[in-house]
């Protein structure tokens, strides 16, 4: 089980992690929370109906990683599509940001609950719902890191070149995290599909 998820009888997943892996995953999830931002909090005593119909931003984020996490719905090829994307963003981004925050927070909370033994390793056990939140957060982390590494959708074989980076390359730790998160995500998907 070390390094990859396995199915649990209750429909969830489990993985063995050591203290360093727990620390890295927790740090990345906290950074994702900071990147996504605190969101729009309803003022105490505010109208819940008004909060339900609150509008978000209409323009895509300037940060490329955030733009990847919150892409335009319809592209930006012409004025009509840009306007449709703007409208879609206004009514969906608040909820999407909230879900991304909930997923990242679920990662932090579950990692905080892992008890490690004398050897520094422990077992993370996730329910089916927590597993889905982990999938969302792992995907968001990979998209963010991939954007920072300038890995695009059209980059066939780009990951292969990432394996060959020299140890002296300052991107190497980020590349290793990107590849490791991909392996975790893949085994979690396989586990949940079995």
- Confidence band for 45, pLDDT divided at 50, 70 and 90: low
Whether the predicted pLDDT of 43 surpasses 50: no
Whole-number Å distance between alpha carbons of 187 and 9? 16
Q: Are 142 and 180 in contact (CB under 8 A)?
A: no
Does residue 108 surpass a pLDDT of 90? Answer: yes
159-168 long-range contacts (CB < 8 A, ≥24 apart) are none
Is pLDDT at 50 greater than 70 in this prediction? no
CA atoms within 13 A on the CB side of 168: 0
Average pLDDT over residues 132-159: 84
> Average model confidence (pLDDT) for the chain?
87
For 153-192, the pLDDT digits (tens) are: 655 555 667 778 888 988 899 999 999 999 999 999 999 9
Across 9-18, 80-89, 137-146, least confident range: 80-89
- pLDDT, tens digit, for every residue of 66-80? 999 999 888 777 888
- Cα–Cα distance measured from residue 110 to residue 154, given in angstroms and rounded to the nearest whole number: 34
Per-residue pLDDT at 117 exceeds 50: yes
DSSP string, 85-141: HHHHHHHHHHHHHHHHHHHHHHHHHHHHTPPP-TTSEEEEEE-HHHHHHHHHHHHHH
pLDDT band, residue 2 (cuts 50/70/90): low
Instruction: Say how far apart CA 137 and CA 143 lie, in whole Å.
Output: 10
What number of CA atoms fall less than 13 Å from residue 93's CA on the CB side? 26
Q: How far is Cα 124 from Cα 114, in angstroms, rounded to an integer?
A: 6
Count of all residues that appear for the chain in the document: 194
3-state secondary structure of 165: coil
Q: Where are the domains of the chain?
A: 6-39+103-193
Does 59 score more than 90 pLDDT? no
What number of CA atoms fall less than 13 Å from residue 65's CA on the CB side?
Answer: 18
Q: How confident is the model at residue 23 (pLDDT cuts 50, 70, 90)?
A: very high
Which of 70, 76, 78, 77 has its CA nearest to residue 147? 70
More confident residue, 96 or 41: 96
pLDDT value, residue 1: 45
Considering only 98-107, 125-134, 144-153, which range has the smallest mean pLDDT?
144-153
């Amino acid at each position: 089980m070390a390094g990859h998820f396995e199915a649990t009888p209750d429909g969830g997943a489990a993985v063995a992690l050591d203290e360093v892996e727990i620390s890295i995953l927790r740090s990345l999830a906290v950074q994702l929370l900071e990147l996504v931002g605190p969101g729009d909090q309803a003022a105490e005593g505010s109208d819940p109906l008004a909060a339900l119909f609150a509008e978000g931003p209409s323009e895509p984020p300037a940060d490329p990683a955030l733009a990847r996490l919150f892409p335009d719905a319809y592209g930006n090829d012409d004025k009509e599509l840009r306007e449709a994307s703007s409208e879609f963003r206004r009514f969906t981004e608040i909820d999407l940001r909230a879900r991304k925050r909930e997923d990242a927070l679920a990662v932090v909370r579950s990692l905080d609950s892992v008890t490690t033994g004398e050897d520094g390793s422990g077992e993370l056990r996730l329910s089916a719902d927590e597993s889905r939140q982990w999938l969302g957060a792992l995907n968001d982390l990979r998209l963010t890191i991939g954007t920072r590494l300038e890995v695009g959708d059209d980059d066939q074989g780009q990951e292969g070149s990432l394996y060959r980076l020299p140890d002296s390359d300052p991107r190497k730790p980020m590349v290793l995290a990107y590849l490791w998160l991909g392996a975790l995500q893949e085994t979690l998907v396989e586990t949940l599909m079995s």
